Amino acid sequence: MALGLSAAGCAATSGYKQRSDLVSDPSACADKRFEVYFVPDRATLTDAARMAIGMTATQLQGCQIKHVKVTGLADARSGTAAANQTISERRARTVAEALAGAGLPAPAFDIEAAGADGALVGGVNDPLRRRTEVLIEVVGPR
């Protein structure tokens, strides 16, 4: 019992007076990188994708956005190179439109598509390439 009381006493006299003395919050105005995944042969946002886009836009509300890069990718398991390029472009546009609709500045967007070439990693088809990669560069608070 005495040991428990002395340990509790140490914690009470540790010198920390407020939570902020122990915990620091990361700046919301920092670069963000995330991926949006799609079902095969589709360029429609899933609920999880909408949530990721919405959460990111909310985090960056008070920030000055310098640049937004959106790269659409496709896996090459099926379809022609032209079809994979088209689906990559559609995915990138879909994500860019959702980001702009969520409040990110449209003029800052750079939209790319990798098509079938983007589906290969080390010469092997990567089925997880059914995605769009997003990089948002932030200058700082507005």
49, 99 contact by CB (below 8 A) = no
Q: Are strands 124-125 and 120-121 parallel, antiparallel or unpaired?
A: antiparallel
56, 44 contact by CB (below 8 A) = no
Task: Quick: pLDDT tens for 13-45.
Answer: 556 566 555 554 556 799 999 999 998 889 999
Partners of residue 68 on adjacent β-strands: 109, 136
120, 48 contact by CB (below 8 A) = no
Q: What is the pLDDT of residue 98?
A: 96
What global pTM score does this model have? 0.75
Give the residue ranges of the chain where pLDDT is below 70. 1-27, 116-128
